[in-house]
Amino acid sequence: MLSDQEIAALFPADLPEPAHWEAVYPRRSLPEGARVTRFGPSPTGFVHIGGVYVATISKSVAHSSGGVYFVRIEDTDRAREVAEAEQQFARAFAYFGIESDENDSNAAWGPYHQSERGPIYQSYARDLMRRGLAYPCFCDKDELAAITAAQNAAKLPTGYYGRWAVWRDAPDDQVRERLAAGTPYVVRFRSPAGAAARVAYPDLIRGRIEHQDNRNDAVILKSSAAPDRLPTYHFAHAVDDHLMRVNLVIRAEEWISSVPLHHQLFDALGFERIDYAHIAPLMKQDGGSRRKLSKRKDPEASVDFYIESGYPAEAILYYLRGLANGRLAELPPVAAAAEPIRIEECGVAGPLIDMVKLAGISADHIATLKVGEVLDRVGGWARQYAPSIAGAIDAEPALAARAVAVERDIPNPRKDLAKWSDFEAVYGFFFTGLFTPVTDPADERFGGLPAEVVTALARDFLAGYQELADQPAWFEQVRAASLRHGFAPSPREAKAEPGRYRGSIREAATVIRVLLTGSTRSPDLHAVALALGAAEVERRVGAVLG
């Protein structure tokens, strides 16, 4: 084993002892039972909706217990870092309300980027080496690949353990020779487990879990050739969660297999173990089976999909909270938002993301918003993602307000707007800048009516057109024109004497509907006409007359 002096020479001369960091990061003064949770995204990729799900649970659990939730950027894998990932993090955190309670300017437990905490990890790695619990390993990539190949050929578990851990018990002189030659090395943790050892540990969601203990000598500090000597995730997790006084880690179930290693590290470092709760992943129905929601395959896995589509964050959070605790899905949204998520009510089976259900929840939510709020939020979204819609709203703000008000303040309001990107399809026809008048009387949207009938009906409707507030009185103008041009007063009469009529008043009204909206389906025709105004009604109906 290397001497303390030889080990000290591998680290900066002014590196503090672990006791220094224990004093720098005091225990938090919180109520009994308060939970300190964290969300630790890595900028090696963009935030998955599953990350928002876990962060939402973490924040709710912390706050409902009188504790603290914070975000720690786990940026120790510089080689795989994705440009602009952190900007996407900030955008997602703000949109979904999962911003950190703490940051470098308002709390004493930072920095909140692991890349800025390098000396802390080195202090604890040096301490492990002094106590014989960690050692330098000089294997290069080719040597490690050869070990893996040999293990595969022998049908053995892969890893750096037992006789395959060639530097674990290497002679001191051999180690000194490599160090003197300047050979790059990593620092590995000396696992205390035997090959057949098993461990059991509690999980706050899953109960007792039994698992094979970790026997791999995991890397805790990366290559000495790197200027920043950053740690691996496993080591940084143990050191940071201890010093930042986390007492509950809520994370994806894929990390269950890492718990034995994390417990070994906590024990070796002299830290008190913390609680874990492993969340089941969000799932997707794929044919007759379910699978994990995939960043690679599923656009709805990306947080940006929801932001760019314009799903209101409140609707998504209500849906996600209901997936976490089923009782919350049974409550009205306002009541559900005030209720805490309970870890013990999270299931062990992955909940299914149902985009149809989410759209329904989102449409219900939007239907409760006031006209001004809808326009503010659509406008804010459109300025970034759909400038033509923003321009149309800005050009005709009064019309925009009238359009959104159509069939809104009634017992059963319209629910055809599920996300802001639907706005043009639902309301676009109201705006002169987005609507193209129908000029061809033979257009197929008129249902095969002769062109001369369409023009005659349009001309008759316009003759003496009045903008009337009373719906029956207004519609009488459509009815009177239709009767004068061979349409039956009702579908029943048209069906009874098909040779006598061109159709019913329903088909006649469809002609006016198509001329005003460009579609055979629309909100109440009278409400549309009032929102457009008499001049615009006359312009649109008259367009088919040439």
H helical segments located in 162-312: 172-180, 233-243, 259-269, 303-309
Look at residue 339 in the predicted model and tell me its pLDDT.
96
Q: Contact, 350 vs 280, CB < 8 A?
A: yes
Residues 394-416: what's their mean pLDDT?
93
Look at residue 426 in the predicted model and tell me its pLDDT.
96
Q: Contact, 112 vs 73, CB < 8 A?
A: yes
| Percent of the chain whose predicted confidence (pLDDT) is above 70 | 100
252 SS3 class: strand
| Percent of the chain whose predicted confidence (pLDDT) is above 90 | 91
- Condensed to tens digits (0 to 9), the pLDDT of residues 249-294 reads 999 999 999 999 999 999 999 999 999 999 999 999 988 899 999 9
- Condensed to tens digits (0 to 9), the pLDDT of residues 48-102 reads 999 999 999 999 999 999 999 999 999 998 888 888 889 999 999 999 999 999 9
381 phi/psi in degrees, rounded to 5: -65, -45
Sort 511 into a burial class: Cβ within 10 Å, 0-12 / 13-18 / 19+.
buried
pLDDT reading at 482 higher than 90: yes
Which range among 41-45, 274-278, 381-385, 459-463 shows the weakest confidence by mean pLDDT?
41-45
Look at residue 1 in the predicted model and tell me its pLDDT.
83
First-to-final CA distance of the chain: 96
- Condensed to tens digits (0 to 9), the pLDDT of residues 25-56 reads 999 999 999 999 999 999 988 889 999 999 99
Q: How many CA atoms lie within 13 A of 539 on its CB side?
A: 12
The boundaries of every CATH 1.10.10.350 domain in the chain are 444-545
pLDDT reading at 194 higher than 80: no
Torsion angle of the four alpha carbons 243, 247, 253, 257, in this order, in degrees rounded to the nearest 10: 60
Residues identified as active-site? 295
Estimate the crossing angle of helix 534-542 against helix 525-532, to 10 degrees.
110
Look at residue 409 in the predicted model and tell me its pLDDT.
85
Residue type, 510: T
Sort 151 into a burial class: Cβ within 10 Å, 0-12 / 13-18 / 19+.
middle
Look at residue 392 in the predicted model and tell me its pLDDT.
96
- Condensed to tens digits (0 to 9), the pLDDT of residues 508-527 reads 999 999 999 999 999 999 99
* HEC sequence for 486-508: CEECCHHHHHHCCCCCCEEHHHH
Look at residue 411 in the predicted model and tell me its pLDDT.
87
Question: Does the CA dihedral 7-9-10-11 come out positive or negative?
Answer: positive
Residue type, 519: S
Torsion angle of the four alpha carbons 440, 446, 450, 451, in this order, in degrees rounded to the nearest 10: -20
pLDDT reading at 227 higher than 90: no
Strands in 302-364 per DSSP E: none
* 284-366: CATH, from 1.10.1160.10, 2.40.30.10, 2.60.120.10, 1.10.3720.10: 1.10.1160.10
Q: Contact, 134 vs 188, CB < 8 A?
A: yes
49 SS3 class: helix
H helical segments located in 257-312: 259-269, 303-309
The boundaries of every CATH 3.40.50.620 domain in the chain are 4-16+118-279
Using omega within 30 degrees of 0 as the cis cutoff, is the peptide bond preceding 111 cis? yes
The rounded mean pLDDT for the chain is 95
Cα angle at 176 between 166 and 2, to 5 degrees? 85
Look at residue 464 in the predicted model and tell me its pLDDT.
87
Look at residue 241 in the predicted model and tell me its pLDDT.
98
Sort 301 into a burial class: Cβ within 10 Å, 0-12 / 13-18 / 19+.
buried
281 SS3 class: coil
Among 25, 256, 226, which Cα is nearest to 124's? 25
334 SS3 class: helix
CATH topology of domain 444-545: Arc Repressor Mutant, subunit A (1.10.10)
**Band of residue 430 on the pLDDT scale cut at 50, 70, 90:** very high
pLDDT reading at 497 higher than 80: yes
CA distances from 457 to 56, 328, 479 (A): 58, 54, 11
Look at residue 469 in the predicted model and tell me its pLDDT.
96
Look at residue 505 in the predicted model and tell me its pLDDT.
94
**Band of residue 397 on the pLDDT scale cut at 50, 70, 90:** very high
How far apart, in whole angstroms, are the C-alpha atoms of residue 475 and residue 93? 50
How far apart, in whole angstroms, are the C-alpha atoms of residue 487 and residue 242? 80
Q: Which residues contact 327 (CB under 8 A, 6 or more apart)?
A: 339, 345
Q: Which CATH superfamily groups domain 4-16+118-279?
A: HUPs (3.40.50.620)
Q: How many CA atoms lie within 13 A of 374 on its CB side?
A: 29
Among 342, 352, 350, which Cα is nearest to 286's? 352
How many other C-beta atoms are found inside a 10 Å radius of the C-beta of residue 410? 10
Q: Contact, 328 vs 321, CB < 8 A?
A: yes
Residues 232-251: what's their mean pLDDT?
97
Look at residue 193 in the predicted model and tell me its pLDDT.
84
The boundaries of every CATH 1.10.1160.10 domain in the chain are 284-366
Look at residue 195 in the predicted model and tell me its pLDDT.
64
